[in-house]
Amino acid sequence: MKFQCLPGGSIVGEARVAGDKSISHRSIMLASIAEGTSLITGFLEGEDALATVSAFRAMGVEIDGPNDGEVRVHGVGLRGLKSPTIPLDMGNSGTSMRLISGIIAGAGLEATLTGDSSLCGRPMGRVIDPLTLMGARISSEAGSKPPLHIAGGQSLKGLDYALPMASAQVKSCVLLAGLWADGITSTTEPAPTRDHTERMLEGFGYPLTRSGNRVTVEGGGRLSAAHIEVPADISSATFFMVAASIAPGSDVHLTHVGVNPTRIGAINVLRMMGADIRMSNERVVGGEPVADIRVKYAPLQGITIPLDQVPLAIDEFPALFVAAACAQGTTTLRGAEELRVKESDRIASMAEGLTTLGITNTILEDGIIIEGGRIGGGVIRTHHDHRIAMSFAIAALRAEAPIHILDCDAVATSFPNFDAIARGLGLQITTSDNET
C-alpha cells in the first residue's frame, strides 16, 4: 500500500486515536495467566496485538473477540499454559516476541518463536542473555536473531539483573519470567522506561516492589482476573500532536490519551520546542493516567533533547524528527542507539527520508542532528516501518510538493485507521495499492 499526501493545509477537530499497543499486548498476556475471566475494552485491533492473541490461543487460552475493541480472556493461571504445537508467528511485533519469550521460558514450555522478515532481522540477545542466566535454554539464528527455539522443561531461578541499557521490553521479559522462577527476580535500569507491566501486574493482584529504577517480584504467586480499559496510545497521538504543532491554523483535541509519566517524553520535548499543548480532564483509569490533549499551532525552535527524555520518547522520535525539520534552528538527539534496532534502523530510515525532502541532517552513532528548513516533495521508502510511514505523512502539511510514501502496509500493525482519522482532521491523504 502507498500513501499519497498533498502538500499544505492544517488539521482541526477532535479524535480518539487507536488503543495503546503496549497496554493491549500486556493485557492479553497477563489475563491469559490469571485465574478467571478478564474483560478488556479499548483493545487495539492492530496486527501486532492480534499476533499476541494468536500466540496465547496456540498455548491453550480461550479468547473471545476482539469485537469493537472488547476482548474476554478466560485465564488458565500460571500453571495452565500448554506448549504450542506450531511455531508462534509474531509478525512484526518485537514486543510480542520479547515478552512472550519470558513467559514461555518461565512456564517451562517448548516453543519456536518466529516473525516476518523485519522481525527476524532484529537481535534478541538482550532477552536471550538474562533468560539464559535464569536457566532457560534458547537457540537462535546467527547474531541472536529469530527464529528462537526455547527448550521445554527448564526450571528458572530468580535473577538480580542490571540492564545494560534502558529497555521496557527487556525489563518486562525478565520480570514475567520471574513469576515462575524459584526465588526473587529483580531488574535495575540505567534510566526509567515505561512501567505498564508493573502497573498491570499490580492490577491483577500480583505483589511487586519498586524502588527507584529497581523492580522486584517473587515467583510462585497468582494473578486474579481483572477489567482492563486500554487508553488511546500516546505514540499514535504524537503524530497528530506534531501535525498540529507544525501546520499554521491547526487546533486538534485528542481524547482519552494515556499519559503515563514514563511515556510523556514526546509531550515534554515538544513543549521544550515551544509547542502549545494543554492537558485537561486528567484522571486514572484502570491504574493508568489518562487525559484529553489539545494542541494548537505554534512556531517551534530547535533544541538539544535532554538525555533523560530519550527513553520516555523512544517510540515517538520519528514524528519528533518531523517537528525538528519544521523548527527554526538545529535539533540534536544523542543517547538513542535503541532506535537502530526497531522495526527498521529508525535513525537511518528517517535521515534518508529527510534528505529526500531536502532537510539537512547528520547521522550520529547514537542519534541525529537535524537542521530545520523548507520541506520539499518526493518518494519516501519506509523500510516497512509503520512509524516512518506515518511520520512522513504528517510532514506533508509543511511540504511544498506532494509526498509519496511506499510500503505502508505495516501501519496496520499499530494504527489500522490512521489514514481515515488523518483525513477526518484535514490531512490530504489517499491510499493506493499501486507501489510504482
Which ranges of 122-228 does DSSP label H, i.e. alpha helix? 125-134, 168-178, 196-203
Q: Which residue has the cell 520516555?
A: 312
**pLDDT tens-digit readout, 256-310:** 999 999 999 999 999 999 999 999 999 998 889 999 999 999 999 999 999 999 9
Task: Judge if 57 and 12 occupy the same domain.
Answer: no
- CATH number of the domain that residue 319 is part of: 3.65.10.10
Task: Detail the DSSP E strand segments found in 259-287.
Answer: 276-285
Q: Which domain holds residue 164?
A: 21-229
Q: Indicate which residue of 315, 385, 407, 419 is catalytic.
A: 315
Task: Judge if 390 and 299 occupy the same domain.
Answer: yes
Last residue of a domain, one of 229, 256, 287: 229
Average of per-residue pLDDT values in the chain: 96
Question: How far apart are the C-alpha atoms of 46 and 25, rounded to whole Å?
Answer: 10
Residue 331 near residue 246 (C-beta atoms within 8 A) = no
Task: Judge if 194 and 238 occupy the same domain.
Answer: no
Length of the chain: 436
C-alpha cell of residue 19: 488503543
CB count within 10 Å of CB 279 equals 16
Task: Judge if 397 and 253 occupy the same domain.
Answer: yes
Question: How far apart are the C-alpha atoms of 106 and 16, rounded to whole Å?
Answer: 37
Task: Judge if 38 and 15 occupy the same domain.
Answer: no
Last residue of a domain, one of 188, 214, 229: 229
Task: Judge if 275 and 368 occupy the same domain.
Answer: yes
Task: Judge if 339 and 271 occupy the same domain.
Answer: yes
Question: How far apart are the C-alpha atoms of 86 and 114, rounded to whole Å?
Answer: 11
How many domains, in total, are found in the chain? 2
- Integer-rounded Cα radius of gyration of the chain: 21
159-171 average pLDDT score? 95
Q: Give the predicted TM-score (pTM) of the model.
A: 0.90
Task: Judge if 45 and 184 occupy the same domain.
Answer: yes
Task: Judge if 372 and 268 occupy the same domain.
Answer: yes
Q: Tell me the pLDDT band of 435, cut-offs 50, 70 and 90.
A: low
Last residue of a domain, one of 204, 229, 254: 229
Q: Tell me the pLDDT band of 436, cut-offs 50, 70 and 90.
A: low
Task: Judge if 170 and 246 occupy the same domain.
Answer: no
Task: Kindly state the greatest CA–CA separation across the chain.
Answer: 61
Question: How far apart are the C-alpha atoms of 174 and 185, rounded to whole Å?
Answer: 8
Task: Judge if 267 and 362 occupy the same domain.
Answer: yes
The question of whether 315 is a catalytic residue gets the answer yes
Question: How far apart are the C-alpha atoms of 15 and 37, rounded to whole Å?
Answer: 31
397-403 average pLDDT score? 98
